Structure 1
Amino acid sequence: MLTAKQHELIRFIQQKLEDTGISPSFEEMKEALDLKSKSGVHRLISALEERGFIRRLPNRARALEVIKLPENSVMGASRPSATPASANDSVIAAHTAKPVAAQPANDIIDVPLHGRIAAGAPIEAIEGQSSMPVPAALLGPGDHYALEVSGDSMIEAGIFDGDFALVKRTETARDGEIVVALVDNEEATLKYLRKEGAMVRLDPANGAYEPQVYEAGRVQVQGKLAGLLRRYH
């Protein structure tokens, strides 16, 4: 079941596609739904995508395709009141939505910046109140935050000191994924996650560093790496 804002957003996207053949920008969606930030738009789009109502066309920041619509969101559709509803009528295919080649766009959303994360020995992950602009095309479904990388233990994975790690919030991760791991509820580090029975091994990507091995109860996954930003001076 969709929320009122999710209903409103998918109706707006569908109407924009029908009227112009181009999906709306984040700014247009923010204004249409009277939201305070583009981050709110991103969360709504992620929720609709996870529920299978829309999809983002790859490598295009502004290419949205409506796959299906809630029944009461179909544009210009009417239904005789005498016709009984069935379980299959909860959603219907949006045949009027035609995939289109999106025009170039640079939608940007603000992602919370939570301080620095160690790519070396663990250091404190500082919870800050700042944010940083991130191209929406770099973020998939889910809630994200950014951390500045400190250290060189992940350089063989292409992660360098001063990079900004874009992290998807999650408390679970598969073996071999790069995660933000909180150790003893005090220190956080960016490492490959390896599970070994009752133990957890946090592997660096630099031969100069040794793996860190802890009892599983001492390590909490706080997110997994979704992307990187690098600033060139």
Structure 2
Amino acid sequence: MSGHSKWANIKHKKGKADAARGKIFSKIAKEIMVAASQGGGNVDDNITLRALIQKAKGVSMPKDNIDRAIKKGTGELEGGQLEEGSYEGYAAGGIAVVVKVLTDNKNRSIAEVRHAFTKANASMADQGAVSRMFQRKGQILIDADKTDEETLMDLVLEAGAEDLKTEHDQFEVTTGPHDFDVVSEAITTAGIDMADSAITLIPDLVVEVTDLDQAKSIMRFVDALEELDDVQDVYTNFDISDEIAAQLEAE
């Protein structure tokens, strides 16, 4: 859940998410492996795993893929030994970029990320130099037709959520990282389906890009990063103006 800016919405409208279904399955499978490895394969005892399985079903991920990922995570099958990594730097115009990976080969992942930065004339930075410009938050997305705003507001605030707002026909719930599981559990217990949920990075300050060429350049760079097999999420601090969004949608 790398972001829900106007840019992300444009990508969705252009059908890029459908074209990358295999990549989406791969990312979710890795998340399931890690969740099962850290919290076990029993969904009754592992809130994170339960949410990820719901997420997988939401994108029509085959049950066999889900079961195989769980078994890899618990060690019943080989191939579940993944390491987390984080790389960061600046894109055109000084836009902050943080890249999160899950990999079985860190040397490969850093080489591929570095190549993508170099090709885009972007610069990598020391650990912490860019990520300090973001805050770790829990984000939960719920389709607006699953509940009403007042009911959801009462529920999530009682459970410890920080904020609730409407974005693109969805409710977006924001929590502190330590309250994420409690709020997720409250939503699930109430019988409300979540479209997506994750611990994410939210920029302290969003930079609005008003130049069409710069917007295209940054979007190409982020797309190139997201296409790498080891990359799970790409976080940036940019959004695009309504005018640029309209031009991109028209193309």
Q: Same fold (TM over 0.5)?
A: no
**TM-score, normalization by structure 2:** 0.21
More relative contact order in 1 or in 2 (CA 8 Å, sep 6+)? Answer: 2
- Give 1 or 2: higher strand fraction: 1
User: Which structure has the bigger radius of gyration?
Assistant: 1
TM-score using structure 1 length: 0.22
Larger % of helix: which? 2
